């Protein structure tokens, strides 16, 4: 009699389960975000993101040492400037916070892979990712500013620029600017598939980039209800010369990650955003979930969905657990 399949044969022991496990978490594919702020002697915990800090450059040095010891050498930088203005000048200032942070990292830890978020929302008085005028975000005018940001980051030594404004044509515009200025080897990691998400809430505390006057980013970030639109973004960013495509957020968008993975030859990067971190931390602090297991499950599910790399605030904790030091 053989009327049914015995799937449990392959679940019968730890060793058997290990043998047939299809996905693993590769810590070499984790990217850790850092928030750097102007000033000195600042290490300020972000209230809605326990365990994460805004750090001035002196503290950044200590953090780098720790990350280096952990072997976690892929980072993405977000800057918080001293002053904001209409066009976000501090984002492309030669001595802006990201530019100085990058130089410091490259001076002391040259083997770190430094990705810079190429946007202006932390730097503009409007808190928007583009130039804001009379209630509108101007697309083509914003591209010129983003080019300046990308160029100044490349000049400071970043390894990858990651434009995140969701302005149309930002990849093509930045690619052209980089190529014309001797940075043809600097890759672009495009936040091409970025949804207008409430999961970004805690980040806006962390990076002080909330759009002003209760504004939203709905006119440039994508509607969470849409799937085909993500494929259109993938197509145009690919044609424009992106080297990586980011899907953001991650956990509520695993179907989108898989859609892209099935249709793209580019590496797909999942950005597990602030709200995804805060929800897990809050539940863990209340003793409602098993933190390590939940984080491991989320990371593995994101890889299983098709992510080639993950930007995650959990990277440090996860690596520490793996090494038995937390
Ligand atoms: C905007 C930007 C956002 C995040 C990083 N850069 C989204 C937003 O504020 O609209 C969110 C990241 C996170 O939530 O972890 N350029």
User: What is the residue-level pLDDT of the chain in tens, covering all 326 positions?
Assistant: 678 999 999 999 999 999 999 999 999 999 999 999 999 999 999 999 999 999 999 999 999 999 999 999 999 999 999 999 999 999 999 999 999 999 999 999 999 999 999 999 999 999 999 999 999 999 999 999 999 999 999 999 999 999 999 999 999 999 999 999 999 999 999 999 999 999 999 998 888 899 987 789 999 999 999 999 999 999 999 999 999 999 999 999 999 999 999 999 999 999 999 999 999 999 999 999 999 999 999 999 999 999 999 999 999 999 999 999 88
Residue 164 half-sphere exposure toward CB, CA atoms < 13 A: 25
Residue 104 lies in a domain: yes
Q: Using a 6 Å CB cutoff, which residues line ligand 1? A: 117, 119, 121, 129, 164, 200, 203-204, 209, 217, 273-274
From 74, 84, 248, 261, active-site residue: 248
Catalytic residue list contains 74 = no
Catalytic residue list contains 43 = no
pTM over cut 0.95: yes
Specify the residue with its C-alpha closest to ligand 1, atom 10.
200
From 29, 74, 84, 194, active-site residue: 194
Strands 160-163 and 136-138: unpaired
Specify the residue with its C-alpha closest to ligand 1, atom 2.
164
The pLDDT assigned to 238 comes to: 98
Of 207, 233, 210, 208, residue with least CA distance to 222: 233
Tell me the residue ranges of DSSP E strands in the chain: 30-37, 43-46, 49-55, 74-80, 113-118, 131-133, 136-138, 160-163, 189-194, 244-248, 268-272, 309-312
Residue 232 lies in a domain: no
The pLDDT assigned to 213 comes to: 75
Mutate to test the pocket of ligand 1, among 248, 277, 310, 312 (most ligand atoms within 8 A of CB): 248
Read off the tokens for 118. 């190429």
Residue 14 lies in a domain: no
Residue 147 lies in a domain: yes
In angstroms, rounded to a whole number, what is the distance separating the alpha carbons of residues 115 and 159? Answer: 6
Query: Quick check: helix, strand or coil at residue 189?
Result: strand
Domain count, the chain: 1
Contacts of 20 (CB under 8 A, 6+ apart): 10
The pLDDT assigned to 91 comes to: 97
How many Cβ atoms sit within 10 Å of the Cβ of residue 201? 15
Residue 297 lies in a domain: no
312, 69 Cβ separation under 8 angstroms: no
Distance 200 CA to ligand 1 centre (A): 6
CATH, residue 45: 3.20.20.70
The pLDDT assigned to 239 comes to: 98
Cis peptide before 249 (omega within 30 of 0): yes
Mutate to test the pocket of ligand 1, among 120, 129, 206 (most ligand atoms within 8 A of CB): 129
In angstroms, rounded to a whole number, what is the distance separating the alpha carbons of residues 79 and 56? Answer: 10
Q: How deeply is 111 buried, as exposed, middle or buried, from its count of CB atoms within 10 A (0-12, 13-18, 19+)? A: exposed
Residue 303 lies in a domain: no
**Closest ligand 1 atom, CA of 211?**
9
Where do we find the tokens 């931390």?
Answer: 281
Of 211, 165, 106, residue with least CA distance to 174: 165
**Residue-range definition of the domain harbouring residue 195:** 26-220
Read off the tokens for 179. 């190529």
Query: Quick check: helix, strand or coil at residue 222?
Result: strand
The pLDDT assigned to 326 comes to: 81
The pLDDT assigned to 205 comes to: 81
Distance between terminal CA atoms of the chain?
Answer: 51
How many Cβ atoms sit within 10 Å of the Cβ of residue 42? 16
The pLDDT assigned to 1 comes to: 66
The pLDDT assigned to 2 comes to: 74
Distance 203 CA to ligand 1 centre (A): 6
Mutate to test the pocket of ligand 1, among 132, 137, 196, 200 (most ligand atoms within 8 A of CB): 200
Residue 260 lies in a domain: no
Which residues sit opposite 311 in a β-bridge? Answer: 31, 271
In angstroms, rounded to a whole number, what is the distance separating the alpha carbons of residues 117 and 165? Answer: 10
Residue 105 lies in a domain: yes
């Amino acid at each position: 009699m053989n009327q049914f399949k015995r799937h449990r044969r392959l679940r019968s022991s730890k060793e058997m389960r290990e043998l047939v496990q299809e996905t693993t978490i590769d810590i070499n594919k984790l990217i850790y975000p850092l928030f750097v702020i102007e000033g000195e002697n600042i290490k300020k915990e972000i209230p809605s993101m326990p365990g994460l800090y805004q750090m001035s450059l002196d503290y950044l040095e200590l953090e780098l040492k720790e990350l280096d010891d952990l072997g976690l050498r892929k980072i993405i930088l977000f800057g918080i400037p001293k002053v904001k203005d209409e066009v976000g000048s501090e984002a492309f200032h030669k001595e802006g916070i990201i530019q100085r942070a990058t130089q410091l990292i490259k001076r002391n830890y040259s083997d770190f892979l430094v990705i810079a978020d190429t946007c202006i929302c932390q730097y503009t008085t409007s808190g928007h990712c583009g130039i804001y005028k009379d209630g509108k975000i101007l697309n083509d005018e914003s591209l010129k500013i983003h080019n300046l940001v990308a160029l100044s980051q490349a000049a400071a030594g970043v390894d990858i620029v990651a434009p995140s404004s969701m302005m149309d044509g930002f990849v093509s515009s930045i690619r052209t600017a980089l190529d014309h200025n001797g940075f043809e080897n600097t890759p672009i990691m495009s936040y091409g598939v970025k949804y207008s998400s409430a999961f970004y809430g805690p980040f806006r505390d962390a990076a002080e980039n909330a759009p002003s006057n209760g504004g939203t980013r709905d006119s440039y970030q994508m509607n969470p209800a849409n799937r085909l639109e993500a494929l259109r973004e993938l197509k145009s960013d690919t044609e424009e010369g992106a080297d990586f495509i980011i899907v953001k957020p991650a956990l509520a968008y695993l179907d989108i990650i898989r859609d892209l993975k099935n249709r793209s030859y580019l590496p797909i990067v999942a950005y597990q955003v602030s709200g995804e971190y805060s929800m897990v931390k809050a539940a863990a602090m209340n003793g409602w979930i098993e933190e390590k297991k939940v984080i491991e499950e989320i990371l593995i599910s994101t890889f299983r969905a098709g992510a080639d790399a993950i930007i995650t605030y959990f990277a440090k904790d996860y690596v520490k657990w793996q090494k038995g030091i937390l």
